[in-house]
A and B are shown apart, each in its own frame.
Chain A
Amino acid sequence: MSILSTDGLTKHFGGLAAVSDFHVEIAKGELVGLIGPNGSGKTTIFNLITGLYRPTSGQIRFDGNSITGVRPDRITALGIARTFQNIRLFSELTVLDNVRVGHHLRLGSSPISAALGLPGYGHEEREITEHSMKLLNIVGLDDVAQEQAGGLPYGQQRKLEIARALATRPKLLLLDEPAAGMNPEEVRGLMDFIHHIMELFALTVFLVEHHMRLIMGLCPRILVLDHGVTIAHGTPDEIQNDPKVIEAYLGVEEEDAPN
């Protein structure tokens, strides 16, 4: 049963076709990768799936429901969470608050209940804080819970973004270049981490990456994008030997070339 499927997904910006006829089907529990040179449209696809952009044409279905043209916050409520390529944290809030915000969408108490400090609200608040600390513990940030998010080092900020996404209790997690700026050891840690949370939270993961080693080592299935068009689709081995993929990456730096 596919949890996410797109059909003929297309996005034009004025005259530019950023994404053309994108098709993908992701089954529950899968870990699928999306790669492509810079500007190939990977983040645009994420923005389309999460509702930040309206598709020019095409459909997106999630968990049996159409989510084409649905507002981003509703899509998150349905169970899709994401991280951003350029980290988007709530910098002035504390680390803990960043994660607590992720719980807000499932809050039952009304603003009146919150403003008056009623016991029903107090109970929910305690639960939220407890769960948030658990998430912070999983990503290893519980000791900096009271620090300002904007002051964290880059790597920790990435982890915080993931924790915040997990707080929304997603079924599908979209990770946009989670390994950016990491050294090889950190990348290995990230790979283990992704497997860990997938198991822990029964997640499906759709991953955009530039970092070849991570994608090849992690994802059993990969799509390759170039100029908005899917040029290849298969296992890491199939992708590595696909002439179209090699051509798309020609002229790109060593570390990005598929090998």
Chain B
Amino acid sequence: MSKHAPRMLTAVSLVTFFLLLVWAEGNLDPYLRRILNLIAINVIWAVTFNLIYGYTGQFSLGHAGFIAIGAYTAALLTLPLAQKEQNFFLTPLISPLNTIELPFLPSLIGAALLAGVAGILIGIPSLQLRGDYMALVTLGFSEVIRVIFMNLQSLTNGSLGLKGIPGHTNLLWSWGCAILTIFIIRKLASSSYGRAFKAIREDEIAAETTGISLFNHKLMAFAIAALFTGLGGGLMANLISTVDPNLFSFVLSYQVVTVTVLGGVGSLTGSVLASAIYVSLFELLRPIDQPMTLGGITIPGRPGMRMVMFSIVFLVVILFYRRGLMGTSEFSWRWLLSKLERLFGRERQEA
């Protein structure tokens, strides 16, 4: 394969993908579009979690907190003034938020930036701790954020949540952001910084002795991840049109962990695949929660069966297939070509 072929193939696929998105946006029914949007958002979250955990080896359970910050920021910035009045009937929204109404792009940027700042603030104390303690502290911060959002009536409308967020998110926005996230994190991962992150993951003592400042690099990965996670949160708010603090419990963080582990910790390709599978299955399996008839036998459905199945699958993966779908491998054009060659080469020989 020539040196420039991979880059050209990627460019061609991206253009094709983009055209497909445009078509899909205009032609698929809303239910399918919602699923595709959710997949894109989950891709962003899984990829950012991979940056923190897969590449740098830091286990953070705080994703929900950054998602919350991103979601609420975008919501509060895009919410039309009239809706704001309606939502904040108990306690008025503080100024200047009650007079601002911004278009989507600046709101998303705001969401991302604020989440990034939160990432730095939370990262500074959390990243000084090791393994399981860090998991707990990041979980703690995430929950503290949720409780604060639940109580700050004049900023977030407390437990009443925000309704009527404009549905700006469409396939082009969500997948555009997802591809941007993948691109940037991929580039970072294959750069000297990526090597530094992986060195930290492999052996912190050796990394430090090789001149890598542990804390600075961990914080870097963490903040960058938080930034893009917030971006995903903002996209989500403008997709589901309603946010309330209970959406951002640690169950959401576990969901991100689940998807990343399923795909293979350290593999961006895995994150994409696993997001697609997880979100699709989640929707497809909705019927399990209701009673259904299969070949004449009625299977009693109970709400929650879906989650039980998912929990079991997750445990099975963690216990027996810890490497997930892709392990640490990534998709590459060369890999595909060699697979195809083997497939068709053999046929040609037999003929």
Give A contacts to B, CB under 8 Å: 50, 52, 71-74, 76-77, 81-82, 84, 88-93, 97, 100-107, 109, 111, 114-117, 121, 124-125, 128, 164-165, 167-168
Q: Is B328 positioned at the interface, with any CB of A under 8 Å from its CB?
A: yes
Neighbour of A114 across the interface among B188, B203, B205, B328, CB < 8 A:
B188
A89 to B199, CA, bound (A): 9
What residues on B are CB-neighbors of A116 within 8 Å? 184, 187
Neighbour of A93 across the interface among B188, B199, B208, B220, CB < 8 A:
B199
Known: A90-B202, A109-B192, A111-B224. 10 other contacts (CB 8 A): A73-B208, A73-B213, A76-B211, A77-B211, A89-B206, A91-B202, A104-B199, A114-B193, A116-B184, A125-B191
A117 to chain B, nearest CB (A): 6
Q: A-B contact count, CB below 8 Å? A: 104
A13 to chain B, nearest CB (A): 17
> Are A115 and B213 touching (Cβ within 8 A)?
no
What residues on B are CB-neighbors of A72 within 8 Å? 208-209
Q: Is B302 positioned at the interface, with any CB of A under 8 Å from its CB?
A: no
| 18 CB-based A-B contacts, threshold 8 Å | A73-B209, A77-B211, A89-B203, A90-B198, A90-B199, A90-B203, A97-B195, A100-B195, A101-B195, A102-B211, A111-B188, A114-B187, A114-B191, A115-B193, A117-B187, A125-B192, A128-B192, A164-B210
B221 to chain A, nearest CB (A): 9
What residues on A are CB-neighbors of B213 within 8 Å? 71, 73-74
A167 to B209, CA, bound (A): 12
A82 to B208, CA, bound (A): 11
User: What are the 4 closest A-B residue pairs judged by CB atoms, nearest first?
Assistant: A105-B211, A114-B191, A88-B206, A76-B211
A103 to B195, CA, bound (A): 10
What residues on A are CB-neighbors of B207 within 8 Å? 90, 101
What residues on A are CB-neighbors of B195 within 8 Å? 93, 97, 100-101, 104
> Are A92 and B198 touching (Cβ within 8 A)?
yes
A61 to chain B, nearest CB (A): 19
What residues on A are CB-neighbors of B185 within 8 Å? 115
Q: Is B196 positioned at the interface, with any CB of A under 8 Å from its CB?
A: yes
A248 to chain B, nearest CB (A): 29
A189 to B66, CA, bound (A): 55
> Are A92 and B328 touching (Cβ within 8 A)?
yes
A204 to chain B, nearest CB (A): 17
> Are B187 and A100 touching (Cβ within 8 A)?
no
> Are B211 and A115 touching (Cβ within 8 A)?
no
Report the nearest B residue to A52, measured CB to CB: B205
> Are A115 and B188 touching (Cβ within 8 A)?
yes
A165 to chain B, nearest CB (A): 8
